[in-house]
Amino acid sequence: MSKAARKGEVSKKTADQYITGLDDFWKKYSAETSGRVKLIDWFILYLVAVIGVQFFYRLVVGDDFPKNAFLTGIFCPLGVIILLISIRQETKDYRRLGEFFLACLVLFIVSINFIG
């Protein structure tokens, strides 16, 4: 058996292991995670996609003329992601939920003021 054939077998085994691992992770995540935490996780993924689209647009267009708007468009979703991660485990604590909404309000006010 040649080196290329063995390397192909090893990479196929590795790919199968990754697929099996991801499948096991998804089954365990779906079974053990509450609906509220799943909603938070999907919103985090949405915000990551928003950041990715804005960054991709910046790379394609090549101009970030209102630099304040570009920076706010990147850092505001990033701040919300950080706040969501901090509240992810304690979704039933209403005091933490109030602090989350207050922190988001402050973040959005600062972002709007930064845009000018």
pLDDT digit string, tens, across residues 41-95: 999 999 999 999 988 988 888 776 777 888 888 899 999 999 999 888 776 778 8
Buried residues in 94-107 as b, exposed as e (16+ CB within 10 A): eeeeeebeebeeeb
Total-model pTM: 0.75
Q: 28 pLDDT exceeds 80?
A: yes
CB 77 within 8 A of CB 50: yes
